[in-house]
Amino acid sequence: MFDHAEADPTLDPATFDRLEKPLRTELVLQQYQLLERRDRAILLVIAGIDGAGKGATINLLNEWLDPRHVRTLAFGQPTHDQQKYPALWRYWRALPERGKIGVVFGSWYAPLLRRAYAGRLTDQELLTAAERLRRFEALLAAEGVVVVKLWYHLSREAQQARCERLDADPDTAWQVTPADRRVVKRFTRIRRGAERVLRATDHVMAPWHVVPSADERCRIATTAQQLQAALTEPLPVVPPVDTFAPAPDRLSQLDDSTKLDKPTYQQELLHWQGRLSRAVRTPQFQSRALVLVFEGDDAAGKGGTIRRITHALDVRQYRIIPVGVPTDEERARPYLWRFWRHAPRLGEVRIFDRSWYGRVLIERVEKLVSEAQWRRAYDEIVEFEREWVEHGAIMLKFWLAITQEEQLKRFHDRERSPFKRFKLTDDDWRNRELNPQYRAATSDMLEYTDHAHAPWHIVATDSKRRARIDVLRTLVERLEAETSPRG
Amino acid sequence: MFDHAEADPTLDPATFDRLEKPLRTELVLQQYQLLERRDRAILLVIAGIDGAGKGATINLLNEWLDPRHVRTLAFGQPTHDQQKYPALWRYWRALPERGKIGVVFGSWYAPLLRRAYAGRLTDQELLTAAERLRRFEALLAAEGVVVVKLWYHLSREAQQARCERLDADPDTAWQVTPADRRVVKRFTRIRRGAERVLRATDHVMAPWHVVPSADERCRIATTAQQLQAALTEPLPVVPPVDTFAPAPDRLSQLDDSTKLDKPTYQQELLHWQGRLSRAVRTPQFQSRALVLVFEGDDAAGKGGTIRRITHALDVRQYRIIPVGVPTDEERARPYLWRFWRHAPRLGEVRIFDRSWYGRVLIERVEKLVSEAQWRRAYDEIVEFEREWVEHGAIMLKFWLAITQEEQLKRFHDRERSPFKRFKLTDDDWRNRELNPQYRAATSDMLEYTDHAHAPWHIVATDSKRRARIDVLRTLVERLEAETSPRG
């Protein structure tokens, strides 16, 4: 894998001079076309042996390209606060919008590489991590973020010679970092660790490219050529999702008969709110988070249910995220970006009033996305939820169902109420007409995204009181089980 | 100030019933009109005695309004990471866009109130803090963010009675927080502290309103009426800025004669880069930050100068912020919001390639803002910079000047270069024609925003090498002086 690079190939000055001008011209031209086209963002992952010229590459890119549309995304060890969010959060947050180029230093490979260099990465760990990153990168690629992974490499001798040359002059010695110096001693281990990680994470949606770096001209030319390919080549073809059988209707067997009288309801409400307020104040909860997802039919009572929950919470501890029309910053990035913005922080509660399921509900039914897009969304969503859950989030998803008759009754109630009629829009009536389509989409969603780490709970809401207590009880029992001192 | 509220006035049920329906209808109607009009955002600051029903107010607002357009902004004690940013940063970051309502819990008054309650706030400290917050709120108001400050208040007896009533039932005891219980004992001190803070921070652009809270109906009705006023009343009139005399031309006396030969330049460059790289790695710098602002004529060499600086920095330590066209999320908020997004973090470097000075340069010259807007911008900007500097930022602002002749020469060079001609746009030629206007605007800017905590440095750039070394030397000398172990 590294043989070619460790032969320290060079590019003679004459060839480089002939290459340089057309390459620069082409790159900056392509950059402006990208800005016009906005069909993709580029993520250039800069990794490699310390002392191979990664830092110099950034200066080069900023000189060759229009730097106003290039963003350097550099990540160090996660800070105390960053550790309270899922690991991929900070990379998601920094994603450039389509039309722009992001240059990534200290990427999601850095933690893995550190462990591999130190010989503390088992094959099983590597396999698990690689699969996770493969999915992350494949999702980005499918959503128009071209991930180009460059590994800067050179022979041990060339690395050592470069350090010694810079070190000899006090005016350039600052360019040699402690990490550069460590490479000399640990070259074999670093090389072996890097090879394992690169082989495990090389895949068709985001392959690795080794850049020979002993010779500056060779390093520059290779970098520029890779970037040019990313700018001009067709977007990677997303492998089609296996066809799936439409799911059976899971909403028809709902028991919506039992009602709750008002005194019992109020007693139960206070009881469960009390338990909820205690459950989120335990020391155990401080290393967990709570994510609640509310989806459901119009007028099924999402808002009222959410208020019964937040009533028991400290306002500093929770955030409600109402999901509506995306902003232009959101539209210019992969679909899930707008939800990663609101990733849970340990010790806190996030309540989504509608959610990422919009993709397989309204966007599917209204044909705002292609069939290929919503079909692959099921897997992407499950993976996305897993990222949050594995970091400590307790995730519950509620589907609030209502019968057609009760919905009609509530619509009419809204029409008659001067301060509720604003809640009723033409879309609500239209959605009623589309009920069969929504029902099919809902059944598929419940079938394909119901998984142990983030189960769906279907709640019949014709009896509002019963429904609110059902939600609170489900939530509190799960929360208590997951945060019991022995759990 | 609190006499009326401490009389614990009540609203009889009949009056409330008569009020409630029209008030709710009006509120939700106004909310939708706000969403259409987008002429303002509302910030409802919820403060007051603990146990006065602040939490219940939030539930009420979410029930009465369409909660999808209301955001609760709750702030606790700043986390470890938040403390690394200027104090107002987290409030700025959370500002709702125009058309929306933000409900603020634990506002910028919380730290001040805590100190006042504890009797640890001197008159001088209060005066300074109040002036700072007055400017903050006045700026928001001037930019279309209506700040409504509500203080929920009740008598000591009513507070105590409420706590005891809830405490008596184990199912409601969780609603009484430790803070609520402390009020009973410390009522007099809290009352006195609050009165001092409220009096000092009550001003016409954002007055305080005391909400009698012993009676739920009275509390609800008052809150709703205040919100309604914020939604409907004309925006506060911004007091006009004192006229200012156009500044003398500060760009005509520039010495641009000295040049630097290449070997000397390269030697000097390495020397200053070395010192820079050491200066940002000192322990002293970890509690400071560096903010560099680059403004200047087209083709004066901002990009090249910035690259000479970043070359000496660790890529994880700095961020370049190129300032171009704002996004829609940015346009929907006060002008300075887009720069607060990039506030400096202690131990890091932020380099602005163009900046907030766009308001008094291009936006003034191109008449994108009214004269009143750019005139008040000078003061707003000085205040904004002071917020960053007082938190530890070392701020240097560079104006890169070029003669008309040299600029023309570089424009022609760019035209001839296949990979530089993209840097030259029609705007550049147009700006040359507007040179007299830009020159006047620049002179005013240099005059009215040059202050000790963030001085302007005017750099003649006809000699590029000389200019780069000038910038580096200025920067390094200031940095070393400010971070010397005894400094």
Q: What tokens were used for A357?
A: 């399921």
Average pLDDT of every residue of chain B: 93
CA–CA separation, A288 and A394 (whole Å): 7
| Best of B72, B171, B306 to mutate (most A CBs within 10 Å, chain A) | B171
CA–CA separation, B395 and B413 (whole Å): 33
- Kindly give, in sequence order, each residue whose CB lies less than 8 Å from that of residue B10, ignoring residues fewer than 6 positions away: B214, B215, B217, B218
Question: Which residue on chain A is closest to B54 by alpha carbon?
Answer: A315
Report yes or no: A75 at the B interface, CB cutoff 8 Å: yes
Residues of chain A falling short of pLDDT 50: 487
CB A392 within 8 A of CB A284: no
Report pLDDT digits (tens) over A218-261.
Answer: 999 999 999 999 999 998 787 777 767 888 888 877 776 788 99
Q: What angle do CA B406, B407, B411 make, to 5 degrees?
A: 120
Predicted pLDDT at B256: 67
Predicted pLDDT at A253: 72
Report yes or no: B10 at the A interface, CB cutoff 8 Å: no
Phi-psi region of B210 (alpha: psi -120 to 50; beta: other; left: phi over 0): beta
Predicted pLDDT at A487: 47
Question: Which residue on chain B is closest to A301 by alpha carbon?
Answer: B63
CA distance A215 to chain B (A): 19
Q: A59, B25: Cβ pair inside 8 Å?
A: no
Using CB atoms and an 8 Å cut-off, which of residues 377-396 of chain A contact chain B? none
Classify burial at A212, counting beta carbons within 10 Å of its beta carbon; exposed 0-12, middle 13-18, buried 19 or more. Answer: buried
Predicted pLDDT at A236: 78
Q: B274, A28: Cβ pair inside 8 Å?
A: no
Contacts of A53 in chain B (CB under 8 A): none
CB B78 within 8 A of CB B90: yes
What proportion of chain B, given as a percentage, has pLDDT over 70? Answer: 99
Residue B73: pLDDT over 90? yes
Instruction: Name the band, by pLDDT with cuts 50, 70 and 90, for residue B487.
Output: very low
Residue B60: pLDDT over 90? no
Q: What is the mean pLDDT of residues B285-311?
A: 95
Predicted pLDDT at A237: 80
Contacts of B177 in chain A (CB under 8 A): 314
CA–CA separation, A280 and A288 (whole Å): 9
Q: Please tell me what DSSP assigns to residue B378.
A: H
Which segments of B225-340 are extended strands (E)?
289-296, 318-322
CA distance A405 to chain B (A): 24
Report yes or no: B286 at the A interface, CB cutoff 8 Å: no
Predicted pLDDT at B486: 66
- Which among A295, A396, A384 has a CA at the least distance from the CA of A334? A384
Instruction: Name the band, by pLDDT with cuts 50, 70 and 90, for residue B131.
Output: very high
| Best of B54, B66, B174 to mutate (most A CBs within 10 Å, chain A) | B174
Report yes or no: A72 at the B interface, CB cutoff 8 Å: yes
Report yes or no: B338 at the A interface, CB cutoff 8 Å: no
- Kindly give, in sequence order, each residue whose CB lies less than 8 Å from that of residue A286, ignoring residues fewer than 6 positions away: A346, A347
Question: Which residue on chain B is closest to A62 by alpha carbon?
Answer: B307
Q: CB B213: neighbour CB atoms within 10 A?
A: 30
Q: What's the whole-model pTM score?
A: 0.92
Contacts of A327 in chain B (CB under 8 A): 327-329
Q: B423, A66: Cβ pair inside 8 Å?
A: yes
Which of B59, B174, B319 has its CB closest to that of A277? Answer: B174
Using DSSP, state whether B248 is helix, strand or coil: coil
Contacts of B274 in chain A (CB under 8 A): 170-174
Q: What tokens were used for A239?
A: 């492998």
Report yes or no: B170 at the A interface, CB cutoff 8 Å: yes
Q: Please tell me what DSSP assigns to residue B335.
A: T
Helix (H) or strand (E) holding B6: helix B3-6
Residues in chain B: 487
Predicted pLDDT at B252: 77
Which of A66, A278, A328 has its CB closest to that of B328? Answer: A328
Q: A270, B319: Cβ pair inside 8 Å?
A: no
- Lowest-confidence region among B214-228, B252-266, B359-373: B252-266
Q: B172, A59: Cβ pair inside 8 Å?
A: no
- Which among A280, A282, A340 has a CA at the least distance from the CA of A309? A280
Using CB atoms and an 8 Å cut-off, which of residues 102-141 of chain A contact chain B? 105-106
CA-CA distances (angstroms) from residue B451 to A6, A127, B395, B397, B455?
A: 55, 57, 11, 11, 5
Q: A328, B329: Cβ pair inside 8 Å?
A: yes
Residue B254: pLDDT over 90? no
Question: Which residue on chain B is closest to A302 by alpha carbon?
Answer: B67
Contacts of B310 in chain A (CB under 8 A): 58-59, 62
Which ranges constitute the DSSP H helices of B246-301? 262-279
Amino acid type, B327: T
Contacts of B32 in chain A (CB under 8 A): 422
Report pLDDT digits (tens) over B401-424.
Answer: 999 999 999 999 999 988 788 888
Question: Which residue on chain A is closest to B57 by alpha carbon?
Answer: A311
